[in-house]
Amino acid sequence: MKNPTISIVHFRSYPLVILAGFLLSFCTNTNDKSSKRNADPGLILQSLLQNSPDPSSECVRSYRAEEACLKQTADLPQIDEPGLSEILSGNKTSTYSGYCSSLLSSESFTKLNPKAQECVFSCNESYWSELRSANRCTGQSSDLISGSGSDSLSCIRNCSSISSGL
pLDDT digits (tens, 9 = 90+) for 86-102: 999 999 999 999 999 99
pLDDT digits (tens, 9 = 90+) for 51-65: 689 999 999 999 999
Is residue 95 domain-resident? Answer: yes
CA distance 81 to 95: 6
pTM of the model: 0.70
pLDDT at 49 (0 to 100) = 63
Is residue 66 domain-resident? Answer: yes
Q: Mean of the pLDDT values across residues 112-123?
A: 93
Q: Mean of the pLDDT values across residues 32-48?
A: 53
Domain that holds residue 59: 54-164
Is residue 39 domain-resident? Answer: no
Is residue 10 domain-resident? Answer: no
Cβ neighbours of residue 26 closer than 8 Å, sequence gap 6 or more: 108, 120, 153, 156, 157, 159, 160
Task: Name the domain count of the chain.
Answer: 1
CA distance 41 to 86: 33
**Between the CA atoms of 148, 152, 153 and 156, what dihedral angle is there, to the nearest 10 degrees?**
-130
**Winning range, highest mean pLDDT, from 19-23, 137-141, 150-154:** 137-141
